[in-house]
A and B are shown apart, each in its own frame.
Chain A
Amino acid sequence: MHNKSLSELSASLHSGEFSSVELTQHYLDRINTHNNNLNAFITVCDDRALEQAKMADQQLQQKNAGILTGIPLAHKDIFCTQGVLTSCASKMLSNFISPYNATVVEKINAAGMVTLGKTNMDEFAMGSSNETSFFGAVKNPWDTNRVPGGSSGGSAAAIAARLAPIATGSDTGGSIRQPASLCNLTGLKPTYGRISRYGMIAFASSLDQAGPMANSAEDAAILLNVMSGFDERDSTSVERDVPDYTADLNNSLAGLRIGLPKEYFDEGLDPEVATTIEAAIKVYESLGATIKEITLPNTHLAVPTYYVVAPAECSSNLSRMDGVRFGHRCKNPKDLQDLYQRSRGEGFGDEVKRRILIGAYALSAGYYDAYYLKAQQCRRLISDDFTQAFADIDVIMGPTSPTTASNLGDNIDDPVATYLADIYTISANLSGLPGMSIPAGFVNGLPVGLQIIGNHFDEARLLNVAHRYQQATDWHTQIPAAFK
């Protein structure tokens, strides 16, 4: 059961080959067997999932079911889920039973899907290795001594180990694409504003975007259809029709114009990862695409720009965690200041504190122009690079991550080194562009992801470009030996 695509699962559910309860129980059993080792889930919703599955089975029997009815999924623990712990992997929210649903959760519930549980992540999505979680690190199913990437590392590990057929993630600087790359998955960060942010706990509001993490572009397209759309409860949601993202999957790639930014193949890129990416580009040439070297000359500004903009927004967003209305409160506060300071000091982990401090400093009197304003100007330079590039190409390709998965513990003492590894992914967030990572091969048994970046609202083309590659290759069907 756990090696089927969403379309195959749907067909089996509709034909009665197995029920949603049987399918859900199968995944719950797998979670029960493997989660102790992987730590991919913070919360497993056993009873609730089986209740949802029963309801789905009724809909299936009444022939009142959609393509996703009865199919299980996992939510990153950043999505508020009514009546379920929604911790954002933080001690601060380790007692937060959400009183409401995120729009993404509402939409997925309405589609009849079954929520298996809430997946582990970097605390408040701040990290690229899933090691900043209050609930402990997640292990990469391809090598359990290595990180799964982050921040959506639990979702990535869960799918890679076949503990869930598909999952939600969120991407502020690469948090869907990088773990997808490190765990051999297909992950899509849509255009900013495509999917509602309502109820997705905010990290950096001008960068955060939810998206699907899946075993194939086809699966991702099916879930994206449900997740997307205007939401008046999100002030930056885009009022724009949602196309059927599965409609163009099989379009020919003849004449597709691919740009390869020379800055994405520069020093810092592991030579074996580079070779793997070059081989993937050759496949595209054989599918009829034309390749052109391009330049994104302000790429070197992306990491420093991001590490002003994102912490500034985070310091503002996380000010709501004050120990008054919800979340962790310190014991015996002596006055209101003590209540705020100790509740926050005890509730937040090291990386979150670092980012709050960076943001507070960058926004403080006397430094605003030098840091925040300057970073916003650099953000436009970075975005303008893409506007110029897309004048005569259709998609940009390159590596998602400069290396394969690192060993657990390798980067935890050097934040700057960790930040620099986000070099290829964060520009898409700063520019609001859609980006994908798809499996492109292995180096020493560890997955390598090919990144595809498109123009605004070009998700259908990205999915088409990814799907045709997956028709021609079988990297995305590889499963880690211990989890077959």
Chain B
Amino acid sequence: MSLDKTDVEKIAHLARLAINENDIPGYVRDLSNIFNLVENLSYADTNNISPMAHPLDAHQRLRPDVVTETNQRELFQAIAPETADGLYLVPQVIE
């Protein structure tokens, strides 16, 4: 199968990934080649085969719903791009 420029722009938007206009032909080519490889899966007979999400078919462990983490806000915010009053700052969202 082959993707086109519109497909690449759409998934780049879904992934919140700015890509340069000049790079789009390269992505169209590479992603099309990769999905051509992936197309081989369509020939596999997977009737009645249950999907395998985890290599050991394990289930998520449950734990008691109690607080186990200590508050380390200052430590974590020390490496943040922009903070104020203990909050992470982003461009204004609500007018």
Contacts and interface: CB of A to CB of B under 8 A. Distances in A.
A325 B78 CA distance: 10
A379 interface: yes
Contacts of A191: 56
Interface string A204-235: 00110000000000000000000000001001
Interface string B33-59: 111111111101010011111111010
B37 A303 contact: yes
B90 A324 contact: yes
Given A99-B72, A361-B31, A376 B52 contact: yes
Given A307-B38, A336-B91, A341-B16, A206 B51 contact: no
Q: Which interface residue of B11, B53, B82 has the most chain A CB atoms within 10 A?
A: B11
A355 B91 CA distance: 28
Interface residues of A, number: 77
B93 interface: yes
Given A96-B79, A361-B11, A374 B41 contact: yes
B21 to A, nearest CB: 12
Interface string A310-334: 0000010001001111110100011
Contacts of B4: none
Interface of B: 3, 7-8, 11-20, 23, 27, 30-31, 33-42, 44, 46, 49-56, 58, 60-61, 63, 72, 75-76, 78-82, 88, 90-93
List 3 tightest A-B contacts by C-beta distance, closest first. Answer: A432-B55, A345-B18, A376-B51
28 contacts: A192-B55, A193-B56, A207-B55, A236-B58, A238-B56, A298-B44, A303-B37, A308-B41, A319-B16, A322-B16, A327-B81, A333-B91, A334-B91, A353-B27, A354-B34, A357-B27, A357-B31, A360-B14, A360-B15, A361-B35, A373-B51, A376-B52, A377-B46, A377-B52, A379-B51, A415-B30, A416-B37, A456-B56
Interface of A: 95-97, 99, 191-193, 206-207, 232, 235-236, 238, 298, 300-301, 303-305, 307-308, 315, 319, 322-327, 329, 333-342, 344-346, 348, 350, 353-354, 356-362, 364, 370-371, 373-381, 383, 415-416, 419-420, 429-433, 456
